[in-house]
Amino acid sequence: MEEREMSGTGRGATVWLTGLPSAGKTTIARALEKRLREQGRRTEVLDGDEIREFLSAGLGFSRQDRDTNVRRIGFVAELLASHGVIVLVPVIAPYAASREAVRERHAKNGTGYLEVHVATPVEVCSRRDVKGLYAKQAAGELTGLTGVDDPYEAPAEPDLRIAAHEQGVEESAAALHALLTGRGLL
């Protein structure tokens, strides 16, 4: 038996939750994190806001800065995942090319990578408006908000699409958990 199997850690992977602001990415990632920790899996959430405070401090929301941000997060995620951690990444990642670069990096290193689209429509996100960004944009106090006046390239073929406006948080976490099980990661 391999050492990592004996220690009960299993194979690591990155699970990237892409979607609009207030789609539910962080909430669903935290719910899944709880389930995975309860079953003894080493899990980390690379939260977009935390990353922007430390690893990506100083970066803004231009296409170039978002691309840099996503690639940095992808780099760290792959490192952790290659050591058996299930890494949950609730980060917008609006551009398909940046997400593809992250996927390729994982593939090159033989590390698992799953793309999950948290597909809450913009009308629902703007009603939730957790951080008041949609209101600010509407009031003309902010420009370049993803999905409103900045691009969001929805994944064409995600490993899973979650309708987080039609199902509850625990249902979404359970669907993700089932995906990981189905891929032999749990």
Ligand X SMILES: Nc1ncnc2c1ncn2[C@@H]1O[C@H](COP(=O)(O)OP(=O)(O)O)[C@@H](O)[C@H]1O
Span near ligand X by CB under 6 A; candidates 64-72, 75-83, 146-154, 164-172: 164-172
Write out the binding residues for ligand PPS, residues 37-66 only, by CB under 6 A.
48-49, 52, 61, 66
Measured in degrees and rounded to the nearest 5, phi and psi for residue 97 equal -65, -40
Angstrom distance (rounded) from CA 174 to CA 162: 11
- Consecutive H or E run containing 16: strand 13-18
| Residue 24 contacts ligand PPS per CB under 6 A | no
Residue 9 or 174 having the CB closest to ligand X = 174
**Interface pick for ligand X out of 128, 136, 161, 177 (rule CB under 6 A):** 128
Among ligand PPS, ligand X, none, the one that 169 touches (CB under a kind-dependent 5 to 8 A) is ligand X
Number of residues that bind ligand X (CB under 6 A): 16
> Which alpha helices (H) appear in the chain, and where do they start and end?
3-6, 25-38, 48-53, 63-81, 96-108, 122-128, 133-138, 169-182
| Residue 73 contacts ligand X per CB under 6 A | no
Among ligand PPS, ligand X, none, the one that 27 touches (CB under a kind-dependent 5 to 8 A) is ligand X
Angstrom distance (rounded) from CA 29 to CA 51: 15
Amino acid in the structure at residue 97: A
Q: Which positions touch ligand X (CB under 6 A)?
A: 19, 21-28, 90, 128, 130, 164, 168-169, 172
